Amino acid sequence: MGHRVVITGYGIVSSIGLNAGDVLDSLIGGHSGIGGITRFETIHKGKLPLAEVKLSNKELVDHCGLRSVRNYTRTSLLGIAAAMQAAAMAGYAAGQELRTGLISATTVGGMDRSEDFYPPFLENTSKGRLREVVNHDCGDSTEKIAGFLGIRDFTTTISTACSSSANSLMLGAELIKAGMLDRVIAGGTDAVTRFTLNGFNTLMILDKEGCRPFDGNRAGLTIGEGAAFLVLETEENALKHGKPIYGILSGYGNANDAYHQTASSPEGTGAALAMKKALDMGTLLPADISYINVHGTGTQNNDLSEGVAVQNVFGEKVPPFSSTKSFTGHTLGAAGAIEAVISLLSIQQDAVFPNLRWSTPMKELYIKPVTELIHDASLKHVMSNSFGFGGNNSSLVLSKYIP
């Protein structure tokens, strides 16, 4: 305990770019990844937007240098594409002495292929190609990433809905602090599927126009896909091996809203608890936070609940905040890690990325998001929130590295 957990590498794949450089360009240029549905056939085509990664599975296979698309779900391909960037940036190689773990997160796993398996199987249980369903479970994508990277010491998968990959980072840091591992590659991956698109559609929380987080006229979220991984290790290790350090994971907290299976409490109890836990762990005061990358899905319920919680935790001095889901869409199990990487980019660039498609204040709140890019923000500590079904609320604090 007491060791600082630092970040020595990160990788990201999303609708706004296939690597951190491209993602940064989109964030600075104000280019959203939200667009039409092209990945699969659905009755929602032309009616609902998605934030898709622009490569097909075949193109992702080539991008990752894999041999065949046959054994891979889209979730695992996105995961490999992001994890390999993070590993390369941190100078990871299989067989190194450092005890290295992989913690991934996903909500849909291999559902994209199970959807192809299911129609003939429903007609007759002896039908449907088994190779479309053997990769259904959430552990499959993690095993594929672990196999690709040659991870031996520890591998697991977290699924706590939309906070899943924020929780991967928490477990990674805890394992390092307990002295169990020297280095952890932690993050998450999720592909868009008909299952999730229709699931969220039944809840009537998909905005036909593309999500408008924290807008008074917001009408729901936009589903996105992507993956992100961060390499965590102790500061001592990073310095000993002369590795560049891109930030510190200085605080984190998970709390449960215990209010409703899907809806957030009006007062944002769990959200506020998670933010306070993260501040306490980093021995930080609310005033120390220079920017909040909010969960900000764009649903009526989340943004109100989160907004009230932010006001309660930060009082009258709420730092600048924005939801970058207005760029990436809501990438579900990958969102926590994707937004942790975006928070790191913010810290490095001293930039606050804007909350797109915002025009009208919410009448219930006295705060409003940042809507224009801020270039000279001087960011020391950035908070990143991720909240999920089951009242699963997580908050991370990423900090500028100061030796």
Partner 1 sequence: MVITSDSIYINGLGNISPQKTSDNSSFLKEPVTSVTNRLACIEPNYRDFISPDILRRMGRLIKMGVASSRICLEDSGCSMPDAIITGTGLGCLEDTEKFLGTLVRNKEELLTPTSFIQSTHNTVSAQIALLLKCHNYNFTYVHRGWSFESALTDAMVQIKNGRASTVLAGGMDELTNGSFAITSRLGHWRRKPADTACLFSNPAKGSIAGEGSAFFLVSSAPGPSTYAVLSGLQTFSPKSLNNSLPAILEGFLGEAGMLPGDIDLAVCGMNGDNSSDSMYKELTASLGTSDIAAWKHLSGEYQTSSAFGLWMASMIMKSGYVPEQAVIRGTGERPVKTILIYNHYLGLNHSFILIRKP
* Rounded CA separation 366/372 (Å): 18
Tokens representing residue 197 in the block:
């698109």
Question: Is 241 part of the annotated catalytic residue set?
Answer: no
Q: Is 188 helix (H, G, I), strand (E, B) or coil?
A: strand
Contact region with partner 1 (CB under 8 A), list: 65-73, 261-269, 334-342, 372-380: 261-269
The sign of the CA dihedral 334, 369, 379, 276 is: negative
Residue 180 binds to partner 1 (criterion: CB under 8 A) = yes
Which DSSP category does 88 fall into? H
Contacts of 261 (CB under 8 A, 6+ apart): 389, 390, 391
The DSSP result for 119-169, as a single string, is HHHHH-TT-S-GGGTTT-SHHHHHHHHHHHHT--SEEEEE-BTBTHHHHHH
Residue 283 touching partner 1 (CB under 8 A)? no
- Report the site for partner 1 in 288-347 (rule: CB under 8 A): none
Active site annotation includes 162: yes
Q: How far is the CB of 121 from partner 1 (least distance, A)?
A: 8
Q: How far apart are CA 86 and CA 83, in angstroms?
A: 5
Query: Which CB sits closer to partner 1, 156 or 348?
Result: 156
Stretch that binds partner 1, among 60-68, 125-133, 224-232, 302-310 (CB under 8 A): 125-133
Nearer to partner 1, 91 or 150 (CB): 150
- 189 in contact with partner 1 (CB under 8 A): no
d(CA 305, CA 343): 22
CB of 126 to partner 1, least distance (A): 7
Among 194, 218, 295, 381, binds partner 1 (CB under 8 A): 194
Which one from 136, 162, 211, 381 is the annotated catalytic residue? 162
- Residue 157 as a binder of partner 1 (CB under 8 A): the answer is yes
Closest separation in Å from C-beta 263 to partner 1:
10
Considering only CA atoms, which of 112, 160, 92, 149 is closest in space to residue 337?
160
With CB under 8 A as the contact rule, the residue among 22, 59, 91, 137 that binds partner 1 is: 137
Is residue 177 involved in binding partner 1 (CB under 8 A)?
A: yes
The question of whether 211 is a catalytic residue gets the answer no
- Our finding on whether 399 is near partner 1 (CB under 8 A) is no
**H or E stretch at 273:** helix 269-281
* Residues near 28 by beta carbon (within 8 Å), at least 6 away in sequence: 349, 351, 353, 373
Q: Is 267 in the site for partner 1 (CB under 8 A)?
A: no
Interface pick for partner 1 out of 22, 59, 143, 209 (rule CB under 8 A): 143
Does 386 contact partner 1 by CB under 8 A? Answer: no
Identified binder of partner 1 from the candidate list 22, 59, 115, 288, rule CB under 8 A: 115
User: In one letter, which amino acid is 273?
Assistant: L
Stretch that binds partner 1, among 60-68, 82-90, 170-178, 336-344 (CB under 8 A): 170-178
Q: Which residue in 275, 285, 164, 278 sits closest to 226, CA to CA? A: 164
Please tell me whether residue 130 binds partner 1 under the rule CB under 8 A.
Answer: yes
Catalytic residues: 162, 295, 330
